[in-house]
Structure 1
């Protein structure tokens, strides 16, 4: 392409010889502008049509622009190919997962994409279910209220599959962006069957152990150390260990019964006599070694099973006495919390390191094995407490600091609080 200067020089020479210098220069300038306009229109037309660019030869601004656009197109195609390969890899990986994966639109809760496992576990079929409302498509699964929870939605641990009720699913909702949610459904049927086998095994073994332990303990009680000189300490240790094993069997049976329960009794639990009973039990275990106080500040009763709640509260009080040194203080406080209520057991005992707190309710988990054996604990008390509170839709919270003591709080919602006719105790202290 001729340069602007060359065109104007040629036009000037023509105008000089013809006697129309400025006219020829003006026509040359207009021709140059027309040429550039035509080239610009050509570039815009090709860009609009997304035509493939060819590399240009020669010099000049337009050839340089052609080479730049060609290079950008090549780089764009390479990036696009790389992104497509990554997308195919990710989709292939998601499709190969044994868990059902469903991408949902956050606002409409409609299905955007799902993998092959979603067909087997949830009954979704491609492409008919794309764009369908998930709640309507997966009836009768209870998803409407659950999806409304969004980021706060707790995992659904056990729900039957709409494909086959024998398939039990664990559902989890992951809001991974502002526009989309990820629903993951995992087949936990085998795990639940194994868990049931474990529960049956523990229950059966515990039940079978109860009778021989009763016999052994009975014979030990009949043996008088005076009839067997030198065996006094040995017989005492045998009695102690047989009692501990009997208590372990009873706790295992209690835990198995709680795990098999889906509901609990519904009765009004009178908290005044309950707190008085807890005070007597704490004093009996303490034998005057601790300061025991009961604070009834709530003025309400609870709804649930008196027997089970007493078992839970008694476990917490007994633990507080067991793990608090002499001259320590133990406080049982029953108070309101919003529309609900809290029963808190506070002690000035050894305290628990923070790393152990998340695992305290696991069965047989011990912070200090030697201390638990010395105190006669079975390692199942807090697990029993957790299951009892779960049946009452309550939760257990644990706060502790080494050297300062611990607080175990049972939090009950408004549905399990009932008005009390009599006035509350303000404080009972011994």
Structure 2
């Protein structure tokens, strides 16, 4: 009697369960089901191939011990595995994300149809070819050459001129790698629509708000004493709305810029201005200290840098209780120079730090409204620093205070009032 063999449905069911697991992992990681499915699918292919190889080696090592029945069972299992491999290959081939399996020399072992469209790979010529050489001249080739340690965002697609990609390189198997490329063109188009909408609405709101604010200024509370509190609140809110519109227009302009017209920015004068503005906003309620030891000017946009640095100082004033202290520093570090603002304010819980530069994000909505902030200041700071190849770092703890630091690289530093620094 022939021993029972494993039912044919068990292998596809196991693969389906593995793919579902991959989908769940992909969704939890970054909301991309295809990425998780692709990784698990390729892993299952390698696992199945390994099983076939081990069984084949066992049979070849002891050919006399293999009975016809064992041979038939092995062949039946091999056919089932081969069928499942074809299903997996077809499924991976239809994924919307580009998937490329590379060996330890980054030579192409396999790729799906999306890789043909997005990366410009061709069958069968590119199998066995170096991916770096195949993508020569593209942003992806330079990223691979530099080690691809971090994911590459918003890169031009080599195979499609009007598309942008997010690309990552994952370690896989025995010193192999898996390249995943996700088309984000539709997200970029939606983002552009959002930017255009915000800019257009802000422009349309500017004129009526100016008119309303102008008429409110003409009204004298002394003529109608009973309306004095109402008129005061209306003036305050119209000013706040006007500031929100101005900040939205500034943010829209910064988001569409890719570079700034570089000028010398005298830091001594800029720091003095920032301090005066902070003192005017504080009205004597805080101790404000300026420490400048860097002895360096900056190369960049005077208007934008003033906006960013002043924003950090004014935020410190708004969110520090009366009697607190604020320290503005401009100092050298080994890899450039740092502008920082340290306060003794309320502090920010760690869970909020990563989202502070999002537009309209507020740690405390009521406190932000009371302080007169628009919720756009830190987003403006982030975009200004990006245009100057600088970084914003935030350190804070509730009840202790906060430090906001702008790190500028040596390429942006100039000798004060003189020639460029070496």
Q: TM-score range by the shorter chain?
A: 0.7 to 0.9
| Residue 302, structure 1, aligned to residue 305, structure 2 | no
> Kindly tell me: are residues 158 and 212 of structure 1, through their superposed partners in 2, closer, same or farther at Cα, counting changes over 3 Å?
farther
Q: Aligned to 1:165, what secondary structure does the other structure show?
A: strand
| Residue 145, structure 1, aligned to residue 139, structure 2 | no
Deviations 1:340-364 (A, max 9, x none): 1111111110000111111111001
Q: How does 1:101-140 map to 2 (within 5 A)?
A: 101-106=99-104, 108-140=105-137
Please identify, of 85-94 and 292-301, the stretch whose mean Cα deviation from structure 2 is larger: 85-94
Cα distance in structure 1, aligned partners of 2:167 and 2:269: 42
Q: How does 1:158-237 map to 2 (within 5 A)?
A: 158-159=155-156, 161-176=157-172, 179-237=175-233
Gapped regions of structure 1 (runs ≥ 5) = 1-45, 56-69, 423-430
1:151 Cα deviation from its structure 2 partner:
5.3
1:319 corresponds, among 311, 315, 323, to: 315
| Cα RMSD after superposing both structures | 2.5
Q: Which residue of 2 aligns with 1:416?
A: 412
1:80 Cα deviation from its structure 2 partner:
5.9
Cα distance in structure 2, aligned partners of 1:402 and 1:86: 56
Cα distance in structure 2, aligned partners of 1:146 and 1:121: 16
Q: Please say which structure displays the higher CA radius of gyration.
A: 1
> Kindly tell me: are residues 114 and 280 of structure 1, through their superposed partners in 2, closer, same or farther at Cα, counting changes over 3 Å?
same
> Kindly tell me: are residues 47 and 167 of structure 1, through their superposed partners in 2, closer, same or farther at Cα, counting changes over 3 Å?
closer
Contact map agreement 2:140 2:155 (CA 8 A) in 1: no
1:54 corresponds, among 54, 67, 87, to: 67
Deviations 1:380-410 (A, max 9, x none): 0000000011111111111110000011111
Please identify, of 347-356 and 183-192, the stretch whose mean Cα deviation from structure 2 is larger: 183-192
> Kindly tell me: are residues 97 and 154 of structure 1, through their superposed partners in 2, closer, same or farther at Cα, counting changes over 3 Å?
same
1:77 Cα deviation from its structure 2 partner:
6.5
1:47 Cα deviation from its structure 2 partner:
4.1
Deviations 1:171-204 (A, max 9, x none): 2233345622222222222211111111111101
Q: Aligned to 1:230, what secondary structure does the other structure show?
A: helix
Q: Which residue of 2 aligns with 1:427?
A: none
1:131 Cα deviation from its structure 2 partner:
1.4
Contact map agreement 2:304 2:384 (CA 8 A) in 1: yes
| Residue 348, structure 1, aligned to residue 344, structure 2 | yes
Cα distance in structure 1, aligned partners of 2:74 and 2:266: 75
> Kindly tell me: are residues 177 and 372 of structure 1, through their superposed partners in 2, closer, same or farther at Cα, counting changes over 3 Å?
farther
1:87 Cα deviation from its structure 2 partner:
4.7
Q: Aligned to 2:192, what secondary structure does the other structure show?
A: helix
Q: Aligned to 2:222, what secondary structure does the other structure show?
A: helix
Q: Aligned to 1:274, what secondary structure does the other structure show?
A: helix
> Kindly tell me: are residues 297 and 187 of structure 1, through their superposed partners in 2, closer, same or farther at Cα, counting changes over 3 Å?
same
| Residue 380, structure 1, aligned to residue 376, structure 2 | yes
Q: Which residue of 2 aligns with 1:361?
A: 357
| Residue 255, structure 1, aligned to residue 269, structure 2 | no
1:52 Cα deviation from its structure 2 partner:
7.8
1:248 Cα deviation from its structure 2 partner:
0.2
Q: How does 1:64-103 map to 2 (within 5 A)?
A: 87-88=85-86, 90-103=88-101
Cα distance in structure 2, aligned partners of 1:121 and 1:243: 49
> Kindly tell me: are residues 229 and 96 of structure 1, through their superposed partners in 2, closer, same or farther at Cα, counting changes over 3 Å?
same
1:96 Cα deviation from its structure 2 partner:
2.4
Cα distance in structure 1, aligned partners of 2:146 and 2:82: 34
Cα distance in structure 1, aligned partners of 2:396 and 2:294: 24
Contact map agreement 2:391 2:406 (CA 8 A) in 1: yes
> Kindly tell me: are residues 85 and 331 of structure 1, through their superposed partners in 2, closer, same or farther at Cα, counting changes over 3 Å?
farther
> TM-score, structure 1 length as denominator?
0.78
> Kindly tell me: are residues 250 and 136 of structure 1, through their superposed partners in 2, closer, same or farther at Cα, counting changes over 3 Å?
same
Cα distance in structure 2, aligned partners of 1:338 and 1:88: 56
1:51 Cα deviation from its structure 2 partner:
6.8
